[in-house]
Amino acid sequence: MSNGSLDNDIEHVLLSTDQINARLDEIAADISRDYADKDVLVVGVLKGAVMVVADLTRRLTIPVSMDWMAVSSYGSGTKSSGVVRILKDLDADLHGRHVLVVEDIIDSGLTLSWLVANLRSRGPESVEIATMLRKPDAAKVEVDVRYVGFDIPNEFVVGYGLDYAEQYRNLPYVGTLKPEVYGG
Ligand code: XMP
Ligand code: MG
C-alpha cells in the first residue's frame, strides 16, 4: 500500500481543501441561521464524519452539544445491506432535542435511512441530516437531506475522513485512489 507520501497514492483530487472549506463556510452559515434559538444536538457518525463534525461545528455561531454514534452495516463485503448494528450508541437522551446527524458520505442511503428511523423513535423534536458528500447515482432509497456539501460521481473516494482499509482518512482533501493501490 502506501509508502512514503500519502499523496503518491492519489489518482486525482476531486475536492480541494479550499473547496471544502468554502462549502463548510456556507453550510455553517445556513445551520447557524436555521437553528438560532434551538437546542441542537450534533450527532456525528463514526468514524468518517469526524473531520466534518470538527470543521463544521467550529464554524457555527450557535451553541451546540455533540454526541457520537458508530454503526455497522451487515452485508457481504463492501455493499451496504440496510441491516444495521449499533456499535456505539449515543450518550444523550433525544427527548425534545433538535438532532442534526452529520455524515461524511451518503452512498446507497440504506445505512442513513435506518439510522434516521432509529433516532426518530427516541422522541426528538426534529431530526435533520447534513452530509459532506452524496453520490446521487448510487441512491437506493430516498433520504431527505437538509444540507449537502457536494454531489459527486459514483466512484470510490478517500480523504477528509473517508478511508480505504482505514488509511487516507487524514488526507485534507477528497480524491480517488490509483488502481494499483487496490492491490490490482
Ligand atoms: P450507504 O448505506 O449510504 O453507506 O451505502 C454509506 C457508507 O458507505 C461508505 N462509503 C464510502 N467510503 N469512500 C469511502 O471511503 C466512498 O466512496 C464511499 N462510499 C460509501 C461510508 O462508510 C459511508 O458511511
Ligand atoms: Mg460513514
- The answer to the question of residue 177 being in a domain is no
- The answer to the question of residue 134 being in a domain is yes
Q: Which atom of ligand 1 sits closest to the CA of residue 162?
A: 15
Number of domains comprising the chain: 1
- Which ipTM score applies to this complex? 0.89
State whether the beta carbon of 84 lies less than 6 angstroms from ligand 1: no
Residue 124: C-alpha distances to residues 33, 60, 128, 164 (Å): 20, 21, 11, 34
- The answer to the question of residue 128 being in a domain is yes
State whether the beta carbon of 69 lies less than 6 angstroms from ligand 1: no
State whether the beta carbon of 161 lies less than 6 angstroms from ligand 1: no
Range of the domain at 37: 18-153
pLDDT averaged over 10-residue windows placed end to end, the chain, 184 residues: 77 98 98 96 97 98 98 68 88 97 94 95 98 90 94 96 96 96 76
- The answer to the question of residue 179 being in a domain is no
**Residue 45 CA to ligand 2 centre (angstroms):** 6
User: Which residue do the cell numbers 440504506 mark?
Assistant: 110
